[in-house]
Structure 1
Amino acid sequence: MTATSSGTRAKSGTRGPYQAGIRRRRQILETSVEVFGQFGYNGGSLRQIADRIGVTPTALLHHFGSKEGLLVAVLEYWDDQSDVITGRDFTGLTFIDKQRLVMAKNATLRGLIELFASLSTEATDPAHPAHDFFIRRYRRVFETFEGAFESAKAAGEVRQTIDPAVESRLLIATFDGLQIQWLLEPEIPVTAIFAAHIEGLVDRITLDAPRWKAARLTETVSQQ
């Protein structure tokens, strides 16, 4: 720690502008989330983003090169935020159960969810600059869920008759579908509804749901 602190002090002359650049970049990304979330990629403009921040469109291009470059950076920023709350250290049925927490966290990130819903629809057009991103992302999410269901089968947590691919598609559809309903009607208790869905899923596919839930409760209490 001492060496790091000394190095930081030695570079104090560049620290201010460097930190200011990081803050400006983050401000641009967060504002772009708002604009693209509200108007979509095609409807949102660099001028709208720049006006909200109080800079020129040229300043945005200085950081990201083009509107397409900004979109890629926004999607990567959103992806990073999602990965932080996904909980990839968990496996099997525990990973599936932890998706309740992901939904609860997403309910505090309305701007990002609006952006995702808007751009994922636009990006069904193969010519859209985000098309490949969403193809890769949905494949990765599907493979992650499928792997969790497969490991739950291997561990004997769930019935051997379940189809991991089908369960994964249904879970993704439920997750995204509930979020769209929530965007349209914010009063919907989306977190509670999704938690109830997970409870029903566990009841349906596990060999001994009460025992598994009791173990989960004990684990949760021990971590508090």
Structure 2
Amino acid sequence: MRAPVGEGRARLLEALFDEFGENGPSPNLSMRQVAERLGVHHTLLTYHFGSRPGLLSAVLSEARRRDNLMIAATSGGLGFIDLFRAIWDFYSSTAQEERTRAFFHLIGLAVYERGAYDEFVADLDDLTRLLEAAARRDGSSATDAAQSSLVAVAGMRGLLLQRLLSPSAEVDAAAYRFIALFTKESTT
């Protein structure tokens, strides 16, 4: 008896994480090369993920889902500023650099070929929702919480991209200055 499609896909995702780690396979590997490393036929990957971009999208989406669950579990009681700092510290760490590169690689591809990355694009707002909930716990209105969270995540992504392109201590300093701007905003 064959496993349901979702189970097969989930098992393949686990195998991908086991073989390639949290960052998934290099974007330079073909579906055939990935399949060879997993010991499966490449058509199985195509069946479950559609294409190399679909495979990379699924792996990165799952990695981000796991990250966000971990961030949410460890920071459930944090306010907006402390959670913002924790998210920055997590994603700006050198341990996350390859995943951050993969994230921006897929973002660039999704801009040109949105339909191929629907799964990836669908969960882009997870961090925004985490920050929004923290802002609401701090007493912000729904509108203020939503807008502050969107600005925070957009700024953080811009700073992460800057960090990849021109790494320097100035980027980290700018990130903490950016976070501090929200502290000033919440006291006015």
Per the normalisation by structure 2, the TM-score is: 0.68
Deviation sequence 1:67-118 (CA, Å, 0-9, x none):
5474324421232134323544125xx2432221222222221111111111
Tell me, what secondary structure is at the counterpart of 2:114?
Answer: coil
Residue 30 of structure 1, aligned match among 14, 21, 24: 21
The 1:84–1:73 alpha-carbon spacing in structure 2 relative to 1, beyond 3 Å, is same
Q: What residue number does 2:156 align with?
A: 175
Residue 142 of structure 1, aligned match among 115, 122, 128: 128
Determine whether 1:131 maps to 2:118: yes
Residue 118 of structure 1, aligned match among 94, 105, 119: 105
Deviates more, 1:162-171 or 1:196-205: 162-171
CA distance in 1, matches of 2:64, 2:20: 9
Deviates more, 1:27-36 or 1:72-81: 27-36
Q: What residue number does 1:204 align with?
A: 185
Tell me, what secondary structure is at the counterpart of 2:40?
Answer: helix
* Matched letter for residue 85 of structure 1: I
Q: What residue number does 2:61 align with?
A: 75
The 1:189–1:60 alpha-carbon spacing in structure 2 relative to 1, beyond 3 Å, is farther
Give matches, 1:39-188, under 5 Å: 39=28, 44-49=29-34, 55-56=36-37, 59=40, 61=42, 64=45, 66-68=48-50, 70-71=55-56, 72-86=58-72, 87-91=74-78, 94-106=79-91, 107-108=93-94, 109-124=96-111, 125-128=113-116, 130-134=117-121, 136-153=122-139, 163-188=144-169
- Using the TM superposition, give the Cα deviation of residue 47 of structure 1 relative to its aligned residue in structure 2, in angstroms: 4.2
* Matched letter for residue 104 of structure 1: D
Deviation sequence 1:166-216 (CA, Å, 0-9, x none):
212211111100000111112344433222221221022225xxxxxxxxx
Deviation sequence 1:45-72 (CA, Å, 0-9, x none):
224546xxxx457537498555547432
Per the normalisation by structure 1, the TM-score is: 0.59
Determine whether 1:194 maps to 2:175: yes
CA distance in 2, matches of 1:184, 1:62: 36
CA distance in 1, matches of 2:14, 2:114: 33
Q: Tell me the percent identity.
A: 20
CA distance in 1, matches of 2:129, 2:22: 31
CA distance in 1, matches of 2:71, 2:172: 15
The 1:170–1:56 alpha-carbon spacing in structure 2 relative to 1, beyond 3 Å, is closer
Tell me, what secondary structure is at the counterpart of 1:59?
Answer: coil
The 1:24–1:140 alpha-carbon spacing in structure 2 relative to 1, beyond 3 Å, is closer
Equivalent pairs, count:
167
* Matched letter for residue 30 of structure 2: S
The 1:102–1:173 alpha-carbon spacing in structure 2 relative to 1, beyond 3 Å, is same
Unaligned 5+ residue runs, structure 1?
1-20, 155-159, 208-224
